[in-house]
Structure 1
Amino acid sequence: MPYLDDNLLVFTDLDGSLLDHHSYDWQPAQAWLDRLGSAKVPVILTTSKTSAEVATVQKQLQLTHYPFIAENGALIKLPADWPGNSDDVSGHIIGNSYSEIRQTLVSLRQRYDFEFRGFGDVSKQQVMDWTGLSLENAALAMQREASEPLIWFGSDFDLAHFEKCLQAENLSLTRGGRFWHVAGREAGKGSAVHWLTGQYRQQRDQPLVTIGLGDGPNDIGMLNATDYAVVILGHHDHAMPLDNGENVYRTRQHGPQGWKEGLDHFITL
């Protein structure tokens, strides 16, 4: 088991993990955030949220000095003082841009009459209804750069056909807690975690211990990419198979309570 004074990196999902699925509250996890902050352990938000959304949450959590992974790994944002950065904040898109993804989705829907609606098809009010977000936060969720969340209304048979069509266009389909997410095939939380871990390893020139925390199928890549994985009890019935074996802990509690439970299990103070 890792110690708090080890060379740790923590990668965490937000919705349903560090943030409560319904209220978006994180207070049950605050004590661990304080401990990690005092030990200078990077807490890297790894989420389906947009860069605009994550920037707001980062400020609230006082994590703005760390990188973050947005849009299910399709976008990596680095802080201003990151080695080699010349911009205030540098962003790296993995795969296709949002405009390219939207163009493909519209074309496929017209061609095959697929039944879905993405954020680019609907109003802020509809996004508010889907997510429970405020008008301001719904607007931030719609500021997409490299992926599209969508609600699928069609059959399972059509969904399988839809996924094959996306693959032919070099796009991937990933299931999240609330939505399906379309992004470039190369994108993913796992590949983004590997890239950032490599960057930290190069900077520190010493071994790292990585911990991942997530609750949904779109977190599996991230959880498989870390040394220790916390599968937080989710508000869904989807399987969460992992490759980490004995280094996986499955919590009995949801959200930030489960987040705390997972770190209590793995990290020795």
Structure 2
Amino acid sequence: MKIGIQGVKGSFHDLAASLYFHSEDYEIQPFGDFRSMAKSVSNKELDYAVMAIENTIAGSILPNYALMSEYDLEISGEVYCRIEMSFLVNHGVKIENINNVYSHPMALLQCADFLGQHPHIKLHEAEDTADSARMIKDNKMMDCAAIASHRAAEIFDLEVLEENIETNKENYTRFLILKGRMNGYDQIPEKASLSLVTNHEPGSLADTLMIFKNYRLNMTKIQSIPILGQPYMYSFNIDLVWDDYDNFQKAMNEIRQMSSSLRILGEYKRGNSPSQVETIPVLK
């Protein structure tokens, strides 16, 4: 089984893949950007892809919703990862030796308090946390550090000088497991993600929410997204969970009749909650 991830091995996408597919025999296919990965899934060059969709600090990654729609991808699962940052160096390097640190700009921002304690260290933005770790290892950069996962330290044989350096310890990212359409379902669905465009009438969204209530569907997320080419028109991305799948199906039948557009992005098994997140899995 071939799994696509954004970034290289040791990245947080790699971590998410290892958590979700831990009992499977799989091969990781790294990608430098989300678009090329989405295209490969659509072309059936991959069995699945792992794509970050929202973070408890940074919010939703809206361009990834657009890619899912553009390439007609289906959500088949989800996994939550706690984002723990480590300060990685080549073996033997001390904090006083470090003049530069490399990482993804979001990682640098999320470790601002720690970095503020070392104002002499110059910050350098990179495309990927794990690739920063690989770079300082391959180039034997003895005055440099990388901010990445503990998993990256194991993969690239780097020393963890400091761990858990992120400012906010309640930092979680939700990753979606994506596949091409028409591959069939492989799990009993407990959750769904929708893209909904309501009729342009007063109370249309409220009427939709009342249907959710009537059928005992719990809405775990709702977010409006601008519709390209239609100024000031919006679709709603909605996540729902339920106890009775028949209720979900009945609700969707009613909503289709009263909405301008309804697209089910995926029906899948509920992922682990943040309180159940495993942080450092065993390497495959």
TM-score (norm 1): 0.29
The higher radius of gyration belongs to 2
